[in-house]
Structure 1
Amino acid sequence: MPPGAYLAISLAALVCGYLLYGRLMVRLMRPDNARPTPACTMADGVDYVKMPAKSVFLIQLLNIAGIGPVYGPILGALYGPWALVWIVLGSIFAGGVHDYFSGMLSVRRGGLSLPDVVGDHLGTSMRRFMQVFSLVVVLLVGVVFVTGPARLLSDMTTIPVMTWVVVIFAYYFLATILPIDVVIGRVYPIFAGSLLVMAVGLTAALFVEGHATGAPPAWTAPPADLPMWPLLFITIACGAISGFHATQSPLMARCLPDERSGLPVFYGAMIAEGALALIWATLGMALYPDPAKLQAAIAAGGPGKVVNDVSPELMGPVGGILAILGVIVLPITSGDTAFRSARLTIADVLGIAQRERHRRLLIAVPLFALGATLSQVNFEVIWRYFGWANQVLATLVLWTAAAFLARGGMFHWPASLPASFMTAVCATYICHARIGLNLSLAVSSWMGGAVAVLTLALFLSRCRRKA
């Protein structure tokens, strides 16, 4: 089957998933527009600012995207059409559920940050753990999304990397302390619209140039050192499910105009990101004849090289530059909200109101001093754990959603099943990976499955005791 057919079927499946499975999310959460949102009851002109649902959706899309739906799917394309299957199923049944409940549970808790949402349903110990864990995740994202875009911009210009690092940090600082509708609320919808136009342009060029309708590529098994289980489910994160999203959802929970807007804003943004991931995974498959050629391109310059090669080929020099600039915008528009999320998380933990500017500076100045220091440190070893830590965070949020549903006497399986699956993924990965226990894949898979089964059994036993 030609690559274009895979893409068309996958996009149609995403739309159907939103329309059908999204209804189940609404039935479970029971949003009520008569119940005022934090943007209405706690408006402070800084973080709690009521905005139109369309703007909140576009901001949420950029908040969660980063380079995840580009770089991850390009790496995932090594697995051929199976990457598309995971993106579709992950977005509908795991990532969409994760994002919707992380956002709506924050709405119901006055827009509080992720640690408080998790602590409400998984206990005080988990709250304390998440206060540290989620803060480390967003800080790592914020720092990496300074250095990464700075290198890309330096490659396109004659300006040194360090100059771009300073410029990006300065922008991040302003976006972190200024009211959300001053910078983010005005610029993000424009950037998000440009991102969607870029995606449509690349897709159209894929068909016009004949790559989408040509003969199916000779796509065999992925390289031997890249087992599909569990690596595919760690590699493609933001395009299917990502714990980082849950750290960003509270930002928009404080801006949501009404509860029924939560479905398009949170679940819908995940589906839209899944569509972006499908496009880039298809580009990786369509423009390289086999996994070995794609792996060679990645080895020569990472996923960024694939972006630099594919974009001009499909859209010409000018269109290619615009497409590459779109990829640069993605990490920048997640990096600034990562730091903003870190500020709000710290403020919630310490109980520091953020209406006054000097209180925001009290947190932001040392936070950025730490970020600037980390940007000069080679923390490559730490970053190797990020993919796994990110999915662990997503798993904990799914278990939080399952606990919320079970506590309310509702149907918890839409959350507990993907939570169990992701538990198996994370446990298997850390047992098998060289950065973990370095066990054989067979042994690691049995251990991962056992951890998932035991976790689900513990969850069900607690549900029965509370019934």
Structure 2
Amino acid sequence: MVLFLIGVLILIVCGFAYGKYCENVFDPDDRVTPAIAKADGVDYVGMKKWKNQLIELLNIAGTGPILGPIQGILFGPIAFLTIPIGCVFAGSLHDYFVGMISMRNDGAQVPTLIKKYVGTGTNKIYNIIIWILMLLTGVVFIYTPGDLIVNNILRMDINSNVIWIVYACILLYYIIATLFPIDAIIGRVYPIFGAFLGISAIGVFIGVLLTGGADLHPITSGALISEHPTAQSFIPVFFITVACGIMSGFHGSQATLISRTVKSEKEGRQTFYNMMLAEGFIAMCWAAGAMVLFNTTAPVDTTATLMVGEISKRFMGSIGGLLAIIGVIVLPITSGDTAFRALRLMIAEQFNIDQSVAIKRVILSIIIFIPAVLILFFAKTNAGGFNMLWRYFGFTNQLVAVFALLMISIYLKAHNKNYYISLIPGIFYTFIVTSYIFHADLGFSLDTRLGIEGYTASYIVGAIVSVLFVWFVISKSNSRKEYIQKLDN
């Protein structure tokens, strides 16, 4: 319990202080924002600060900060420190600077920012990765809420035919939210969704404080870092598993959406940085709830989606638990709709497709949703299909974040600002994603192929690539400094 409360305190105190420091580094001013300068009534729509904050939080908080921490707590109480520290120094920083740099560039999507600050070659690679991530995110956020609705609300078999009806309803909502003006759809329904989100997170938090203290201790052998039930390595697997609860590349696509609706640069810290802190709090609550149940009634091999229902009922009772489950269902739905919306805008931006014309939005949306439906069908009808989808989603998500940190570091260094604040988390996550993909079965299986136990070979490759990351930041920022300063002035 003490470690859990220390983690919450880190989020609040360090988050406030470091968020203010990040704001000072960026130095927001009174210039006209894209929401005002480019108002089009569709994507560029000035909205109130509280609404932007709520939409940003609901956009970024999918199932990641719930399912990820539920699995991540199996690594031990260390999660109560790594989640808040990661949120403060990596995740929130990532979201803030992506949102603010986008705001300084007419609300440009991350691919455009990568092209401008890093270069055309890197942008081509990034485009492929981010489009894949947006597509996978949208599919994951049809699949998971659909299964939760059928299992926990309808009390039916998730493999029955009714699941396809539920999927179709979610997909229909996504199509509507993708096509119509952001204020007309997302801005109006999100306050309702926000109420469910608040009930679920705060309900679990209060429940843990009142009744869970005695069971907040290591689940398996080990103290701070416990022995994982399936012998997974803390580094890098923990950070890939928790993902959105600490840092997420997906968030960059959402921050750039909201950069088009913020009316003042000085609202940026509360909108971008603080909302990631709120997501960290959500992650902490569900991690704590999972630890309590794993130490009492739930076997350690219980799936994360089933744990959602068990945690909700344990701490909030039948009615409160139902509301909490609805909140968890809402989270991925409110991320999935904007994932598809962001993908539409990215593709439109890349190929200069005017999105103020309705028919062009419809055609582009159809092109996006056809492969999404095919991937969903594969994931649902093939054994292990969803596990494969989720693992690629998790890795791609963190890889995209590395590209964003690369862009942020080059931007800051080129403008003679403290770039170490983004360089350091960039180095760390470069090591994480590289060592993970080189070791994992879905990647190169390097250590297995070489007959080496553990991650030795993958760690070496990760260290080498991390050094190259530093070299790339320094060389690119130095060679492009005058060019970047000229464009930004």
SS in 2 for 1:296: coil
Q: CA deviation at 1:403?
A: 0.3
Amino acid at match of 2:374: T
State whether residues 219 and 295 of structure 2, in contact with CA within 8 Å, keep that contact through their aligned partners in structure 1. Answer: yes
Single out whichever of 333-342 and 142-151 deviates more from structure 2: 142-151
Q: CA deviation at 1:215?
A: 7.0
SS in 1 for 2:353: coil
Amino acid at match of 2:5: A
Q: CA deviation at 1:369?
A: 2.5
SS in 2 for 1:236: helix
State whether residues 217 and 286 of structure 1, in contact with CA within 8 Å, keep that contact through their aligned partners in structure 2. Answer: no
1:364 equivalenced with 2:371 (yes/no): no
Single out whichever of 68-77 and 369-378 deviates more from structure 2: 369-378
Give per-residue Cα distances to partners, 1:257-298, cap 9 Å, x unaligned: 1101111111111100000001111111122228x965222x
Matches within 5 A, 1:359-438: 359-378=360-379, 379-380=385-386, 381-438=388-445
Amino acid at match of 1:399: L
State whether residues 77 and 218 of structure 2, in contact with CA within 8 Å, keep that contact through their aligned partners in structure 1. Answer: no
User: Which residue number in structure 2 is paired with residue 178 of structure 1?
Assistant: 180
- Give the distance between the partners of 2:363 and 2:80, measured in 1 at CA: 45
Q: 1:367 to 1:215 in 2, by over 3 A?
A: closer
User: Which residue number in structure 2 is paired with residue 344 of structure 1?
Assistant: 345
1:131 equivalenced with 2:114 (yes/no): no
TM-score of the superposed pair, with normalisation by structure 1: 0.94
Q: 1:447 to 1:123 in 2, by over 3 A?
A: same
Q: CA deviation at 1:70?
A: 0.2
- Give the distance between the partners of 1:323 and 1:215, measured in 2 at CA: 21
User: Which residue number in structure 2 is paired with residue 318 of structure 1?
Assistant: 319
State whether residues 284 and 294 of structure 1, in contact with CA within 8 Å, keep that contact through their aligned partners in structure 2. Answer: no
- Give the distance between the partners of 1:459 and 1:170, measured in 2 at CA: 42
Amino acid at match of 1:173: I
Among candidates 22, 25, 50, match of residue 28 of structure 1: 25
SS in 1 for 2:443: coil
1:196 equivalenced with 2:178 (yes/no): no
Q: CA deviation at 1:86?
A: 1.4
User: Which residue number in structure 1 is paired with residue 112 of structure 2?
Assistant: 116
State whether residues 428 and 445 of structure 1, in contact with CA within 8 Å, keep that contact through their aligned partners in structure 2. Answer: yes
- Give the distance between the partners of 2:314 and 2:344, measured in 1 at CA: 41
Structure 1: tracts of 5 or more residues without a match? none
State whether residues 58 and 193 of structure 1, in contact with CA within 8 Å, keep that contact through their aligned partners in structure 2. Answer: no
State whether residues 242 and 394 of structure 1, in contact with CA within 8 Å, keep that contact through their aligned partners in structure 2. Answer: yes
Amino acid at match of 1:47: D
Q: CA deviation at 1:89?
A: 1.3
Q: 1:339 to 1:385 in 2, by over 3 A?
A: same
TM-score of the superposed pair, with normalisation by structure 2: 0.90
Give per-residue Cα distances to partners, 1:158-177, cap 9 Å, x unaligned: 58101111111111111111
1:257 equivalenced with 2:254 (yes/no): no
Among candidates 277, 284, 292, match of residue 290 of structure 2: 284
SS in 2 for 1:312: helix
State whether residues 88 and 277 of structure 2, in contact with CA within 8 Å, keep that contact through their aligned partners in structure 1. Answer: yes
- Give the distance between the partners of 1:215 and 1:76, measured in 2 at CA: 14
Single out whichever of 247-256 and 380-389 deviates more from structure 2: 380-389
- Give the distance between the partners of 1:183 and 1:126, measured in 2 at CA: 35
Give per-residue Cα distances to partners, 1:110-133, cap 9 Å, x unaligned: 111110011111101122222222
Amino acid at match of 2:444: L
Q: CA deviation at 1:56?
A: 0.4
Give per-residue Cα distances to partners, 1:163-222, cap 9 Å, x unaligned: 1111111111111111101110011123123312321111112223x2125574554222
- Give the distance between the partners of 2:45 and 2:371, measured in 1 at CA: 28
User: Which residue number in structure 2 is paired with residue 228 of structure 1?
Assistant: 234
User: Which residue number in structure 1 is paired with residue 209 of structure 2?
Assistant: 207
Q: CA deviation at 1:466?
A: 6.2
User: Which residue number in structure 1 is paired with residue 16 of structure 2?
Assistant: 19
Amino acid at match of 2:413: A
Single out whichever of 305-314 and 452-461 deviates more from structure 2: 452-461
Q: 1:447 to 1:313 in 2, by over 3 A?
A: same
1:66 equivalenced with 2:66 (yes/no): no
- Give the distance between the partners of 2:32 and 2:479, measured in 1 at CA: 33
- Give the distance between the partners of 2:417 and 2:467, measured in 1 at CA: 21
Structure 2: tracts of 5 or more residues without a match? 380-384, 448-453, 482-489
- Give the distance between the partners of 1:434 and 1:367, measured in 2 at CA: 29
Q: CA deviation at 1:426?
A: 0.9
Give per-residue Cα distances to partners, 1:401-439, cap 9 Å, x unaligned: 000001001111000011001011111111211222221
Single out whichever of 20-29 and 193-202 deviates more from structure 2: 193-202
- Give the distance between the partners of 1:360 and 1:104, measured in 2 at CA: 26
- Would you identify which runs of 4 or more consecutive aligned residues in structure 1 move more than 4 Å? 461-467
State whether residues 67 and 304 of structure 2, in contact with CA within 8 Å, keep that contact through their aligned partners in structure 1. Answer: yes
Among candidates 443, 452, 461, match of residue 466 of structure 2: 452
State whether residues 78 and 294 of structure 1, in contact with CA within 8 Å, keep that contact through their aligned partners in structure 2. Answer: no
- Give the distance between the partners of 2:57 and 2:442, measured in 1 at CA: 32
- Give the distance between the partners of 1:374 and 1:450, measured in 2 at CA: 34
Amino acid at match of 1:108: R
State whether residues 196 and 323 of structure 2, in contact with CA within 8 Å, keep that contact through their aligned partners in structure 1. Answer: no
1:245 equivalenced with 2:246 (yes/no): no
State whether residues 143 and 376 of structure 2, in contact with CA within 8 Å, keep that contact through their aligned partners in structure 1. Answer: yes
- Give the distance between the partners of 1:136 and 1:214, measured in 2 at CA: 40
Report how many aligned residue pairs link the two structures. 457
